[in-house]
A and B are shown apart, each in its own frame.
Chain A
């Protein structure tokens, strides 16, 4: 199964202001793309645009030759993990994962997910007793709950220590091996393995 994401001459607006322009790139199955850039250069906007939240843009985003702007179907092939953790503070980790299972409409066994992300010992703890890094890992479990072809990760490495970065890298490689595509943004010096690099500073209008 091979997938292909093509972005042609993209120009993104927010409230009449142009964020970036002339952005083109191509990414195929089994590849990772790193999106770099200064603060405010439009990294998050770029990911949200590809995920389908932003509709106000010129240019084309083609996924397997489907134009996403023409397409009014929901983008179930895409999974966006933003900087917000999507966690309910008053619930335990297990309850939070159950809530996501309801949203994604799956009943997959969570044992495997829990081991992959090394959060088994946290399962029965309340979210507000966790550290930021632990919350981030719980939040990343949304990637594994149900399958999506394209992962869009906004700053996934923030708060993670080196071991956990390695853990995430393995998970991403595994996802890519099954035909997946991963795009992620990063501000830190530690980077995951990547095949393509986009520097938003080249396209941003500041």
Chain B
């Protein structure tokens, strides 16, 4: 089915680009390596900091590779090609969401247990964090992709895009750091999905002209 093909294509493009799967995971590890130097080793409650840094690195890793979702395909003309194949716009947008989530969030989720053990976070806490990330990070991908679709037509939208997106990430980060609010995150993600799907399709229709 062509829908899977689009996901595979995006994942291959992500793999070939300079900011590939290793980028997201190494980003988290690099941030975590720097933490002890900033706060010293006697802080005691590393596990609270740990959750925070996970969310920050997810937000950054999504934001920094956002150009790959729609912009690069729009600029080189591939979006025209994709729209004319037998895909509905909904499926195109969904495939973009899924591939971006796989490329940027899965590597971080894989690294969390290892990094967590280094920070002496308990197994139960690690599982809770992973659950929260699984529920919350898709929503962050949806919002990021939708805003970047809305700004497709404007050149050099990079900075504005970040300024618009980061405030929208605040709810995810607030509820993400609280270990019992998995359901809230799920709700946020689902709301974000509806909002993002419609905005993305609207912008694709607009900029395809």
Report A's interface with B, CB cutoff 8 A.
14, 48, 51-56, 74-76, 78-80, 82-91, 95, 98-100, 102-105, 142
Cross-chain contact A104 with B85 (CB below 8 angstroms): yes
* Residue from the list A51, A52, A83, A105 in contact with B5, Cβ < 8 A: A105
How far, in Å, is B129 (CB) from chain A's closest CB?
A: 34
The prevalent SS among residues of B at the interface is helix
- Contact-size category for B: 20 to 34
Q: Give the chain A neighbours of B9 by CB distance below 8 A.
A: 99, 102-103
Judge if B8 is at the interface, Cβ distance under 8 Å: yes
How far, in Å, is A44 (CB) from chain B's closest CB?
A: 11
Please indicate which of the listed interface residues B18, B76, B82, B87 has the most CB atoms of chain A within 10 Å of its own CB.
B76
Complex-state Cα separation, A102 to B80, whole angstroms: 15
Cross-chain contact B81 with A88 (CB below 8 angstroms): no
Write 21 A-B pairs (CB below 8 A) sorted by A numbering.
A54-B209, A56-B209, A74-B85, A74-B86, A75-B84, A80-B81, A80-B84, A82-B80, A83-B77, A84-B76, A85-B77, A90-B17, A100-B81, A102-B12, A103-B2, A103-B9, A103-B78, A103-B85, A104-B85, A105-B2, A105-B86
Question: When each residue 1-40 of chain B gets 1 if its CB lies under 8 Å from chain A and 0 otherwise, what string results?
Answer: 0100110110011001110000000000000000000000
Report B's interface with A, CB cutoff 8 A.
2, 5-6, 8-9, 12-13, 16-18, 72, 75-78, 80-88, 208-209
Q: Give the chain A neighbours of B16 by CB distance below 8 A.
A: 88, 90-91, 95
Residue of A nearest to B82 (CB): A103
How far, in Å, is B189 (CB) from chain A's closest CB?
A: 28
Contact A53/B80 with A48-B209, A102-B5, A102-B8 known, Cβ cut-off 8 Å: yes
The prevalent SS among residues of A at the interface is loop
Cross-chain contact B84 with A51 (CB below 8 angstroms): yes
How far, in Å, is A126 (CB) from chain B's closest CB?
A: 11
Q: Give the chain A neighbours of B83 by CB distance below 8 A.
A: 53
Complex-state Cα separation, A82 to B209, whole angstroms: 12
How far, in Å, is A19 (CB) from chain B's closest CB?
A: 11
Cross-chain contact A105 with B77 (CB below 8 angstroms): no
